[in-house]
Amino acid sequence: MSELFDRIDALVASRSPLPPSAERKRLRTAHGLTLDEVAAALDVRRATVSGWESGKTEPRPPERDAYAHLLKQLAELYPADPNTAAPGKDTAAPATFTNAPASEARTLSTGPGPEAAAATTGENTQPSAANSAAPAAAPRPARTTRPTSSTSRRPGAKRAAPAGTPAVGTDAWFENGPLAVVDVDADGQALAYCTGGLVLDVPAKSIPSLVEWTLREAKLGQPKLSGPGKDADPLIVLTPSALERYGLPVALTDEERLAGRIPEGHKVIKQLVRAEWKLTKRGFGPWARIYRPATGAERACVQLCIPSWNALDTRHWGEAGQLPPAELARVLGVYASRVMTPRGSTAVTGLELMTALHPPTRASEPDADGKRHSEHNPGSLGKDPVDCAPCEAPDGHPLLKELPRFHVRGPGEKLFEEAYDWARPMTDAECTLRHLVGIDVNMAFAAGANGLVVGLGAPTHVKAPVFDAKLPGSWLVDLSHVDLSRVKVAKDKWADLDASLLPSPFTPKGEQPEGPAWYATPTVAYAVELGYDVAPMEAYVRYENGRYLDGWYTRLRDAFLATMADLGVDADMAPADFLTAMDGYKERDPELAIVVSAIKATVKGGLGKLRERPRGEGWRPGEPWRALSRPTWRPDIRAAVISRTRINLHRKIVKHAAFTGQYPIAVLSDCVVYAADGTSPLDFLPYRDGKPLPGGFKLGNNPGLVKHEGTQSVLWGEEVRERFNAPELNLARYIKDGTVTDVDNGE
C-alpha cells in the first residue's frame, strides 16, 4: 500500500507548479549552493540548471520531480520575505527582438560557467544552440530622442542607488549589468546606458568622481566565472561627448596613438594622482584601468573603454564604435554576458578568459588556527611563468642569445607548427569543371582546443624517448618516410591516394619533410594514425598536464552558438536549411553579427597571445620582453592547438579523397577549395540520405563543422593565376568575394 501512495505522491509532484525562475535562483543562493552542486545532485549539466533559473527551459521528468522536491525543501528553510515583491515574472530577455523602452531593467544574465567538454576529437560533439545555456540576447533598445530640458530627461533615466543600499541576493551589487556607456545629452547631463535599456543619471563631473560613482553607486560588474576567481570589474565606455565633459581628447594625436596613451602630465592623470588612484603600466590609453591597491577581499578597480581612441578594432568589432550609446551597450553587453566583460582587445580578453576560468591560486583548507592561505589551484598554469623549451622559443628569445647573430634556425632546431598556406595547379580534369567552391571550418582553432591535453608546467628534456600520444610536448623525429599515397583511413583499412594532389600534414606549406624536425604531439600522433612507425630522437615533454582549455572552449562555443541562433542559424539544421539560413544572416541583426565577429576574434587572438612577441619598448634580441613574465606566455600550448587544428583538417581531406577521389586545390588556415560542377558545397560533399561522410566534412554551425565560404568560376581562378604569373597562387585567400587585392606568389 505504501508503494501505491508513493506513486500517487510522485504523480501529484510531477504536475505541481514550480516557483518562478527568479525564485529558484533565490532559494539556491540562499542555501549557498552553486549551480555545479545542484547539477551534480540532479545528474544534469550545469547549463541545464542555469537554463531553469533563467527561464529559458523548464525541467522535465524525471529530473523535474527531484528538482521540485529540492525547491520545496529550500522554500521551507528560506520563505520569501512578505514585505518584498515576489519575484514573479522572469527577467530573461525574449529570443525575438522587439524595441524595448529605455526604462526596461537589465535583461542579460551572466551566462553559464565553464563545463568540461566530453569530446576528445574537438568536433561534432557540441550540443545544439537550443540546449545551450548561454543567455538570450538583449532586446534591441529603442532609438529615443534627446530630452529638451534638464527637467525633462528621458523617462527611463534614474539615479543609481546610493551607497549602503541593502543588497538582495548574491549578485545584487551587479544588478545594473557588467558595463555602461556614458554619454552626455544636449543639456549637458551625463547618462549611463546599461544593458537591457536601463539608463542612469551620472552626477560625476570628473574622471576621479566617475570612478567613485561607478564603484559606490552604479552597481555595475559581473560575478566571477570560477569558484576561486574574482568578480569582473565594472566597464565604463566613454563616448566623444563624455570625453569632452571629463577633459579628455576626443582623438589621440599621432604621437599619442604610437605611444598608446596620453602623456603622464595630462591634467586628468594629475586629477587621478591627487585622488590617490593608480593606472596600470599601459597608462591612460584606449583601455585604461584605474585602481587602488586591494585591501583584503576588497577590490577597487574600474576599466575604461574609449572607442574613439580605437579601443574597438574595426577588424573585430566592425562599426561598433560608431553606434549610438544604447546600441553599443547592447553589443558589448551581449558579449560580456556570453564571453566575459572585455578587458582590452579581443586577444587580451581571450587570454584573460583562460585565467578567469582557471585562476592560478585558490584558498586552502583552514589551518590549525582556522586561517586560510593562498595555494596553487590544480589545473591552472600557476602564478609563476615557466621557461619554454629551446625549440619552442621564437627568434630573439633569451634562451637563444648564444646563437650567432644572423643564424637562421631550421626545422631541426625550431618548432614550426602553423596553420596551412598551401596551393597547387589544377589538373586537366579539374579545369573542365565550372566552379571553385570554398568551405570554411567554423571556429576551427576552438575545435582544435576542445579536449586537448596540454602541458601545465615546465618541460622535461628526454633523449631517445618512446613516443606517447597522451604526453604533450615537442618531439624531434623524422617523418619523411610517411607516404601519403597509401594511408590507413580506418582500423585495418588502407586507401591508395594521389600524394601529389595532397598537402603534407607535417608542414604549414604542405611540403614533404626532408629529415628530422620538431613537431607537437598531435602531429606525431597523426603519423602513427596513418599507419607509420615513429622513432623520436629527443623530446621536451610535460608530465604535469591537463585539459586546460576545455572550459575556455565551452564558454566560447556556447557564446557562438547562442548568438548564431539569435541570428536564425541553429546548430541542428539540415544541410540545405543551414546553407539557406547562413545566406545574409548578418543583415538580420547587424549588432549581433558584430558580437559573432568579436567571439571569433577572441578565439584566434587569445591563442595568439600565448606566444606574444616584443612590442617595441626598446627591445633587443636576446633580452626578455614584458609578455615573458606572464604564466600564460605558453608557445607550446599555442603550437599544440594549431597542430591539432591542422591535423583535424588534413584528416577530413584524406577521408574525402579516399571516398570521392576529389582533392583540394588550395588550403588556407581553415578554408579549403575544391573544383565542382555546381556552386554549392552540396555539389561535392558526399551526403547520403542527409548524412555526411563519417570523419569527413559536415555542414553545420558547431565548431569543427563547415560552412560555405564562397564560390568563383574555374576561369576566374586560372585568369588570376595567369595574370600574376603565379600557378600556385592560393585561391582560398580570395574565394570569398573574388577580389584580389594583394598577391603573394611565395617568393
Give the model confidence (pLDDT) of 307-339 as tens digits: 999 999 999 999 999 999 999 999 999 999 999
Q: What is residue 746's predicted lDDT score, i.e. its pLDDT?
A: 42
Q: What is residue 653's predicted lDDT score, i.e. its pLDDT?
A: 98
Q: What is residue 167's predicted lDDT score, i.e. its pLDDT?
A: 34
Average pLDDT for residues 688-712, to the nearest whole number?
Answer: 95
> What secondary structure, in 3-state letters, does 492-540 show?
CEEEECCHHHCCCCCCCCCCCCCCEEEEEHHHHHHHHHCCCCCCCCEEE
Which one has a higher pLDDT value, 658 or 369? 658
Q: Which of 703, 707, 697 is nearest to 664 (CA)?
A: 697
At the top level of CATH, the class of 2-77 is mainly alpha
Distance CA 166, CA 406 (A): 66
Distance CA 561, CA 214 (A): 32
Q: Which three cell numbers stand for residue 255?
A: 604621437
Average pLDDT for residues 155-184, to the nearest whole number?
Answer: 65
Q: Is the pLDDT of residue 622 over 80?
A: yes
Q: Is the pLDDT of residue 745 over 70?
A: no
Cβ within 8 Å of residue 150, ≥6 positions away: 187, 188, 189
Q: What is residue 517's predicted lDDT score, i.e. its pLDDT?
A: 98
Q: What is the mean pLDDT of the chain?
A: 86
Q: Which of 598, 600, 25, 117 is nearest to 341 (CA)?
A: 598
Q: What is residue 87's predicted lDDT score, i.e. its pLDDT?
A: 41
Cβ within 8 Å of residue 684, ≥6 positions away: 437, 660, 662, 674, 676, 678
SS3 of 99, please?
Answer: coil
SS3 of 127, please?
Answer: coil
Q: For the chain, what are the domain ranges?
A: 2-77, 144-323, 390-418+450-546
Q: What is residue 123's predicted lDDT score, i.e. its pLDDT?
A: 45
Average pLDDT for residues 60-74, to the nearest whole number?
Answer: 83
Q: Is the pLDDT of residue 103 over 80?
A: no
Q: Which residues pair with 688 in a beta bridge?
A: 691
Strands (E), 141-257: 157-159, 179-184, 190-194, 199-202, 235-238
Which one has a higher pLDDT value, 125 or 53? 53
Work out the percent of the chain whose per-residue pLDDT is above 70: 84
Average pLDDT for residues 477-494, to the nearest whole number?
Answer: 93
**Confidence class of residue 575 from pLDDT cuts 50, 70 and 90?**
very high
Q: Which residues pair with 5 in a beta bridge?
A: none
Give the model confidence (pLDDT) of 350-406 as tens digits: 999 999 999 999 988 888 888 888 899 999 999 999 999 999 999 999 999 999 988
Give the model confidence (pLDDT) of 511-521 as tens digits: 999 999 999 99
**Confidence class of residue 159 from pLDDT cuts 50, 70 and 90?**
low
The dihedral through the CA atoms of 262, 264, 267, 273 has a sign that is positive
Q: Is the pLDDT of residue 660 over 70?
A: yes
Q: Is the pLDDT of residue 253 over 50?
A: yes
| Structural contact between residues 347 and 601, judged by C-beta atoms closer than 8 angstroms | yes
Q: Is the pLDDT of residue 138 over 90?
A: no
Average pLDDT for residues 12-20, to the nearest whole number?
Answer: 69
* Distances, alpha carbon 611 to alpha carbons 134, 624, 652, in Å: 30, 13, 28
Q: Is the pLDDT of residue 13 over 80?
A: no
Q: Is the pLDDT of residue 58 over 90?
A: no
Examine residue 203 and say whether the peptide bond preceding it is cis (omega within 30 degrees of 0).
no
Average pLDDT for residues 664-676, to the nearest whole number?
Answer: 97
| Structural contact between residues 552 and 449, judged by C-beta atoms closer than 8 angstroms | yes
Entry pTM = 0.80
Q: Is the pLDDT of residue 487 over 80?
A: yes
| Structural contact between residues 334 and 108, judged by C-beta atoms closer than 8 angstroms | yes
Strands (E), 204-322: 235-238, 278-279, 287-295, 298-305
Q: Is the pLDDT of residue 115 over 60?
A: no
What interhelical angle do 35-42 and 46-54 show, nearest 10? Answer: 110
**Confidence class of residue 104 from pLDDT cuts 50, 70 and 90?**
very low
**Confidence class of residue 158 from pLDDT cuts 50, 70 and 90?**
low
